[in-house]
Amino acid sequence: MSHPLNRNLLLVKEHVGMFKAANNYDIHDPDTNEIIIHCREDRLGLITKLLRFTSDDNSVLGISEDVPPDSTISKLILAAVMCIDMVLKE
């Protein structure tokens, strides 16, 4: 069985309500819409919950076909994109 992230196209869906209580993402296979990974941030303080405002954010991450899907660099690209997204929304 291959690793769920061994692909060059991923759909990232963020789940938020009126206030952004946490960084909650699902990573989907864009072809089948199957959830590959659940990403959840638990146990935030009240102040953090109240200070986060955002709306739902869905994005597609496409990695060049020159990068092999099973390479470490493709996973590093995904991690960098997710970190940048979280930091810029804080």
pLDDT (mean) for 31-52: 72
Predicted local confidence at residue 66, as pLDDT: 93
pLDDT at 67: 92
CB proximity list for 19: less than 8 A, separation 6 or greater: 49, 50, 52, 53
Bigger pLDDT: 28 vs 82:
28
Structural domain spans, the chain: 9-89
The pLDDT assigned to 88 comes to 73
The 10 Å Cβ neighbour count of residue 25 is 21
Tell me the per-residue pLDDT of 44-72, one tens digit each, with 9 for 90 and over.
666 655 555 555 667 788 999 999 988 99
pTM over 0.85: no
Concatenating the DSSP letter of every residue in the chain gives: ---TT-SSEEEEEE---SS--S--EEEE-TTT--EEEEE------HHHHHH------EEEEE--TTS-TTSHHHHHHHHHHHHHHHHHH-
